[in-house]
Structure 1
């Protein structure tokens, strides 16, 4: 029997009247489709995800693309390094076969649109969100270290500015594990919401004195499980909390107990089902 999470214990957040946390699709609906592909994001949107999460890296010719790893061995079966390749080179690669390597042998598999499984530019993802028939938010993570340093954040803010999304009221927020990156975003776009990601509980005492009072904090679910004091400290400090990567009912219960504002999940549809949405 499926266990229902304790949604009654969730606190109301600032994103609307609903007491449930925002459900954010981690790299799209990445449990079911190849991560960071247009197909994964369209699936997440169709499933009702409130927001989409993506990682961005800068190509050699200055394009922001949605790719997590610095190299392409895992998702495109090549030794290529994203930062040394042009967009045209990346566009020739298949970013989906690794997820379903036997799909071509399945006569009953639905026909694939090749364009939905190529490298996805951030601009294309922003266009998809802008054209969708309901309000959708974006959580964009800049990856560091990178050879381009602060140019990544500068290009990101410029791209958001093309949509009018670099100011207060933007549906986009920017995340990073890099404190320097978050400070750059704050300087470039003072009104953009930013999320300081935390991958180790013992990093928080170091970060606490230097992060802005209005910054969202983004701990990983594993750290909240292993070090429950981290969550309690964040709640007592009145911090808004966004948690990654929340994929099970037990994970969701931890988040609901803390009253987090957003859960970032590979399985947005499952999270919405558990939340009764």
Structure 2
């Protein structure tokens, strides 16, 4: 995964955010993936959250569990205790048990991860680490997801201007709810397709961060140019190569969300 990047004059380097943890080499959304991301120096951690049947926010991307826990159940129909019985890590390296030289892994780091546990991990860490928390929609629980999220952030004193957390969503209604519940909390309006932006532009808040995907920025150069000209803060997903990172640097992006946080940090540290 070679490559180099070039910084633009005095432009600040972007924050490197670990996408679902260090998900390139560790099972996504597990405690192990986030501990690995912290170990390599990630400056932020990204997670998706869903609400369980008994009201707990857990870090899971997909609506159902077939891909990451080998079961057909849906997160929203299961209790936390039921999810806690599942293995969320083995799918990433199914042959690990046959490798005599593989390091021993604490099974707790491969279980379902609650958002509360992730927040505690960040709060206890010995340097500031930010959180980018994405709420997934549509969901049977609708706005209850954002309400529970803000309540949890309140428990940590993290719903104000100085919070290390920001909330992201592809749902305009979800971001609006967060703004009503916690007006000072930073929010990111994720943009799935470039042609969605003209519809969003008149209605997004002036301080909202904009979060386009790297593919849309590559395929539609005008999107990045417009966001930069409008002086919008830009956070980009999912940035995994030197070429993608260079595009972000050229647009003065303030955060890159990556499956490979260690590689992004190495590229930035060696940038000319």
Q: Same fold (TM over 0.5)?
A: yes
* Superposed CA RMSD: 1.0
Question: Structure 1 unaligned runs (5+)?
Answer: 12-18
The residue number in structure 2 matching 1:143 is 136
The residue number in structure 1 matching 2:6 is 6
For residues 1-277 of structure 1, the aligned pairs below 5 Å read 2-9=2-9, 11=11, 19-276=12-269
Q: Distance in 2 between matches of 1:176 and 1:256?
A: 23
Q: Distance in 2 between matches of 1:229 and 1:80?
A: 42
Report the alpha carbon displacement of residue 205 of structure 1 after superposing the two structures with TM.
0.3
Q: Distance in 1 between matches of 2:127 and 2:3?
A: 30
Q: Distance in 2 between matches of 1:197 and 1:119?
A: 25
Deviations 1:181-227 (A, max 9, x none): 00000000000000000010000000000000000000000000000
Report the alpha carbon displacement of residue 8 of structure 1 after superposing the two structures with TM.
3.2
The answer as to whether partners of 1:9 and 1:257 remain within 8 angstroms in 2 is no
- Secondary structure, in 3 states, of the residue corresponding to 2:160? coil
Using structure 2 for the length normalisation, give the TM-score.
Answer: 0.98
The answer as to whether partners of 2:17 and 2:261 remain within 8 angstroms in 1 is yes
Q: Distance in 1 between matches of 2:2 and 2:109?
A: 33
Report the alpha carbon displacement of residue 41 of structure 1 after superposing the two structures with TM.
0.1
Report the alpha carbon displacement of residue 6 of structure 1 after superposing the two structures with TM.
1.3
Q: Distance in 1 between matches of 2:9 and 2:227?
A: 17
Using structure 1 for the length normalisation, give the TM-score.
Answer: 0.96
Deviations 1:100-127 (A, max 9, x none): 0100000000111010000000000000
Q: Distance in 1 between matches of 2:10 and 2:57?
A: 36
Question: Structure 2 unaligned runs (5+)?
Answer: none
Report the alpha carbon displacement of residue 255 of structure 1 after superposing the two structures with TM.
0.1
State how many pairs are aligned: 270
- Secondary structure, in 3 states, of the residue corresponding to 2:189? strand
